Structure 1
Amino acid sequence: MAKKLEIKNIRIIKKILRLSDQLESLLKKYEPELIYQALHSMALLALCYFKQGNDKIPDYDYVKNIGYKIYGLNHKEATIQEKQWNSFLRNYLFYNIDEFDLEIAKSIENGFFNEVSLLAEADKLNAKIIADKSENSFSEAWKKYHNTFANNQEEVVSSLYESLKKNVQYISPINLNGTVKLFRYLSENEKANELIEFYISNRRSNKTIFDLKHSSFANHIDDPKIIERFNCESKCSGDDRSPEQVIISLAAKNGWSQNDIEVLSALTVDDFYQIFISQHGDHLSGLVDACLQFAQIDNASDEQKMISNKTIEALVKIGKQSSLNARRVAKFGIRIEGDI
């Protein structure tokens, strides 16, 4: 690895060798692929951290925050310097950074390995590596993107879509974010949003994964929908009720709790839409009115206003579906353009 990175500084080589010995000792029970990644990432990160005035070597912070920039999914045009760094990283076969790599980065910064946190991330990655060994693994699916210039968009989308679902328990939020960003770039927004919901519904056994405020990978999550839905899940983690149950409770009582407000304000317009169209019966109007009531409060909080505003947007969406629904939402004060 030192040869591949063309490291000539003896001091840096000795640091990398010392860190390599410690890593191999800590990780000897894990899959060979994990040990390879650990040594591969550590050598690069150590070189970037200890480099001195060599512009050909990427800046340490640039590598730590690389995300999916090498995939061409960043929003800003890369500078000439960044393009050179990206070429350097591609030549080293380093395409993105994950939670395990970030834990190694912390060790390089601190000068020692935090065995507890390092092995915790190693356990997660090791399970993913085992899953990735299947023929249709997530890593294999990404190769259909990386390893060809063929006109195979349909195959890339289908492979990533199916593989993410199959291996959802082993997919990190960073990898979810990268997949969703690629799908959006390819105008596959419906599939992107579906994967987000599938991911959330299948990872709720570990609620902490949605807590971006206290997460080491938060800076790598930049898809607005993922951020919105993760924040919603994090807010709702202390409440076992579904959003639908919260609205039913709100309609049945004269008042609300702050927890009710937090749960409902974190919902999206589509969430309210799905709840309303799924309801049938005498109680439906009461549910809608319960969500609209905050628009009538003079001193409503921003969260309360969000609930009513999203409810109105959901009703507009319902009203635009048909002339009949335009009449139905009119009783809530919703006017659909073109409706008489």
Structure 2
Amino acid sequence: MTANPDSEPTSTKLLRAEIERFLATDAPEVLSIRGKWGAGKTYAWNSFLMKAKDTEKIALKSYAYVSLFGIQSLDELKYAVFENTVNAKDIGFEPTIEGLKENAAAVLKRAGKHSIAGMLSYFKNVADAVKMVSFLSVTRQIICIDDIERKGKSLRTQDVLGLVSLLRERRKCKVVLILNDDELEEDDKKQLAKFQEKVIDSSLLFAPTAKDCAEIALPKATGPLAHLAKHCVALGLSNIRVIKKIERLVVQVEPLLTNYNSAILEQAIQTLTLFGWAHFGRTSDSDVSLLSYILKHHGNQWFGPPDPDKLSDEEKKWAALLDSYSFTNVDDLDLVLLDAVRNGFIDVERLQHDAEILDEKHKAAQSDKALNEAWRRIHDSFDDNEDEALDGLVTAYTENIQVVTPGNLEALMVLLKDLGHDDLAREGLTFFMQERKEEDRNFYDIENHPFRSQSPDPDMKKAFDERLATFKIDVVPADILKRIGEHQAWSSSDIAALSALSAADYKSLFKTLRGPAMRTAVRAALGFERISNRGGEYDSIINNARQALEEIAAESPLNKRRVRYLIGAPPAERQNVPNAGVNRDEG
């Protein structure tokens, strides 16, 4: 809990004051702490109890905590109180065998050896006799009875309240009841309403806000846990059990992501909070509606917010909440975290693989930002600051060289040369070529670069062409023709590769291909005929492709018909036969 009471939430402050009062006197009484599941009733009670123990402000000398979960009878409850009784100075520690022996010794002393001996005729052994009379030792102590709504079916609420009344009136005990009365069965609610005024002296409703719960569950939170607290409040998460479950996952994830960009850990915490709230806060195992909504409308292929007219009223509330929570879409890292929430363990290999991919994106984004800011010093003023602006630009390029594109490099070189810094421009080019020497062939193919300029810097073009020439080219003519046929675009290297093919090469190529791939290749090779001012290398492609088709057509009447269907009649036939060409009615 927070050390300064004045900084506590109001609901927590009121509960703390009442518990401190309750523990500080030995007057028998019954205190009830009510609240919803996960609100932090037990957590708050234990926290204030420990603080009272540490400051020696507990009047009675013994304490027992008992959960009614699964307890079926009063005898079980009585023995559980006896079994879990510890000295007040041992509050916070689990009951031990030594403690149980001490409690049993107290029973024997209280009952007397002769009384126990007289009982043995009714029991199999001393242990059964001690168990039967163990409740005799329960007197003048604090007893916490928790989870009343989760008691066994055979144990009635009115019987529990009757025992509580006995403990107060005859055993001079102080009893605290912790319950979620909304979850009681109807009969139990009626029994509680009927007897609570006679049995319960003080009843507190503990209903902390989301901010209260975050401060209770994550006291003095710093670092990642402070981010968790912030996200819990943003979602309105007022269930301390859920917060603690999410906290465990955050604590596990943090060391796995510390070596990456800090934004990745922040994303992980935001995602774990959302998915943890959706999963751990479900009313039943089959309630997956919120998670399903998130994955459907904010999945990997996210195309903006869903159409409000197509959402249910509940989905509209979720949409508004996710919008205010600034959660746009689920990426691969989020899916790993969802599995962690569902399965209870983290796939470390997948998590770090996806974190590395995100880390590279963040680095690229930061580098782009640095380059853009450097260029703004060039363009955004009329200050006399050439040296300063150029120094900043060169520094930005040097520090972020791994994300500098050929287009970026050319822009820098043009600027430096325009301002009379040719040597600095060439020095930058040399540095770039050294630092990016591991790039592939396409990187250095300026002519085919999508952002190439009409007249690239000559020094840069020379350096790139020399590096390009060092790569071994594995030309696949079918791929070149396919690309030309589909995009109607080609490069000088494409033409050089195609013009180097002989008629025999084209014949083999055309006969190897099938279906649309074959037709695309033939029409792409002959399509250069439409270029009026073409060079000799284009004629080589056209002539060799036509010769290949003529040889194929000569192989059989069927192939002759196939070639005619593809490209029309040969030129010689076109001169002699009117309207010769492809029969458009065929096929």
TM-score bracket relative to the smaller structure: 0.3 to 0.5
More strand by share: 2
Q: TM-score, normalised by structure 1?
A: 0.48
Q: TM-score, normalised by structure 2?
A: 0.30
